[in-house]
Structure 1
Amino acid sequence: MFAVLRKEFNAFLNSPVAYVVLGVFLVATGLFVWVFPDSSVLDYGFADLQTLFNLAPWIFLFLIPAITMRTFAEEKKAGTIELLLTRPLTDGQLVGGKYLACLLLALLALVPTLLYYYSVVKLGAPEGNIDSAAFAGSLIGLALLAAVFAAIGVLASALTRDQIIAFLVAVVGCFLVYSGFDSLASLFEGGPAYYIGQLGIAAHYRDLSKGLVDSRDLLYFFSVVAAMLLATRLVLRSRNW
């Protein structure tokens, strides 16, 4: 699995994909957090990075599918998937290696956001006047969100040999899982609305952004990732049916 991970990650670094993803993410978040007056933390008056964590999921909604769309679709189109599957690797190792490479690249985009936190800490009055627990919880939530989006994207890529179709399917899938259940819950009231909302990512992401790292939220994210990866493995196994 680690051989696949290393190969895939090196392929990202040797192509424009990694640099485009990192550049787009940092430019977009930087403009909204520091430049645009309606969302800039400098004009907001509070030492808070909520703008970053409200915006980042929507950017990831497009960037992560752009990362994952080539994982299996490119192998199928080039005719190398059969050669890859004949190597001494289990389907689980193959899926896991490709998935971890995509996730690692997505998480790499989050590292520079620590500079945003440091800057706000220094700009606070008094210095350090920021809710560090909320920042840490939001960062964990964003990392878990990236993990789910990457798993959905890998599954979408395994379903087709066309990268554009894989990208579109992944975007729609990520949108439905992130926002679809919230929209559906708004049609109901009371208990049904709550339970329907809990099926989506947004509710658990909001809980983590408050600085409350609940085991139920972690279990939700890990369960969705596991389900998507198992489905991807099942798609690969279907070649033998």
Structure 2
Amino acid sequence: MRRFFTLLKREIRHYFHQPLAYIVLFCFLLIVGFIFQLGVGALNRATSQTTVIEAFFDSILLWFPFILTFPLLTMRLFSEEYKLGTIETLMTAPVGDLAVVLSKYFGALAFYLVLWAPTILYFVIFHVVTGQSAAQSFSQYFGSYLLLLLVGMFYLSIGCLASSLTSNQIVAAIVSFAIICLMFFLSVVTFVFPSADRFLGDIVYYFSTIEHMADFSQGVFDSRPIVLYVSLTLFTLFLTFHIFQHRRWRS
């Protein structure tokens, strides 16, 4: 366990020692802050029962920077190690393959949490300036950020899987971006084909991140998305573990 935490600290330090991490953090907060301002402005111009937190998290504009962060955060995880040859050090270290995979994954997850943590200040500042709450209840805050965590866990695991497949970071980024886009935009099927079969609509809804966020941002909790994202995350990490083991055996 001590060796696992040593690896984890190594991965976290690696993130915060790279200029790219701060560029991603700055650009992400700048874009997301602008989207928050647009949502508040839209609510000011029209009478609506929609809360600020719903307007923010249900905005389609928010999902574009959201999706783009995952390839950037994960493309170097294994690919850089393969390219530089430092993976040999990890493979000969007195730690298990599972510890290596999990340390890289949780290192990326830690930075993902750091990426979203400052956005809580948007709602605090809104409350201080306007004297009004951005949500009707605490469950809306909790639900929105809970789903961000669950979806982030799954998409980061996809990035880990893509990075474990190749030594080229650009290829890893493209593969993870393509898979994440495919999973995410499944929800638009019902909008493009509104007359689609009800059974197909139910399946799409089950996998629809947009629909899940619409519910969770209203404080409406459903155990099915929780089970879905946790299960998919574990399965994807399982695949990553076996791919890493295979490459170790080949080397």
TM-score by length of 2: 0.85
Larger relative CO (CA 8 A, sep 6+): 1 or 2?
A: 2
In structure 2, what is the equivalent of residue 120 of structure 1? 126
Distance 2:234 2:63 in 1: 20
1:63 aligns with 2:69: yes
Deviations 1:147-167 (A, max 9, x none): 111111111000110000001
User: Within 5 A, what are the aligned runs for 1:22-101?
Assistant: 22-34=25-37, 39-45=38-44, 47-53=51-57, 54=59, 55-101=61-107
Kept in 2, the 8 Å contact 1:69–1:156? The answer is yes
Deviations 1:36-95 (A, max 9, x none): xxx240452265133432343321211121011000000111112122111111111111
- What secondary structure does 1:111 align onto? helix
Deviations 1:89-146 (A, max 9, x none): 1111111100001111011111111111112223446x33632322321111112221
Distance 1:202 1:230 in 2: 26
| 1:212 alignment partner AA | V
Kept in 2, the 8 Å contact 1:29–1:52? The answer is no
Q: Higher helix fraction: Structure 1 or Structure 2?
A: 2
Change (3 A) 1:32 1:185: closer
Distance 1:185 1:237 in 2: 40
Change (3 A) 1:203 1:32: closer
Q: 2:231 aligns with which of 199, 223, 229?
A: 223
Distance 2:21 2:240 in 1: 23
Distance 1:151 1:57 in 2: 18
Distance 1:217 1:130 in 2: 22
Distance 2:156 2:178 in 1: 13
In the TM superposition, what is the alpha-carbon distance from 1:33 to its structure 2 partner?
1.7
Q: Which moved more, 1:221-230 or 1:142-151?
A: 142-151
Distance 2:235 2:213 in 1: 18
Change (3 A) 1:182 1:40: closer
The CA RMSD over aligned residues, in Å, is: 2.0
- What secondary structure does 1:89 align onto? coil
Distance 1:74 1:20 in 2: 19
Q: How many residues are paired up?
A: 235
Kept in 1, the 8 Å contact 2:79–2:168? The answer is yes
In structure 1, what is the equivalent of residue 15 of structure 2? 12
In structure 2, what is the equivalent of residue 105 of structure 1? 111
- What secondary structure does 2:52 align onto? coil
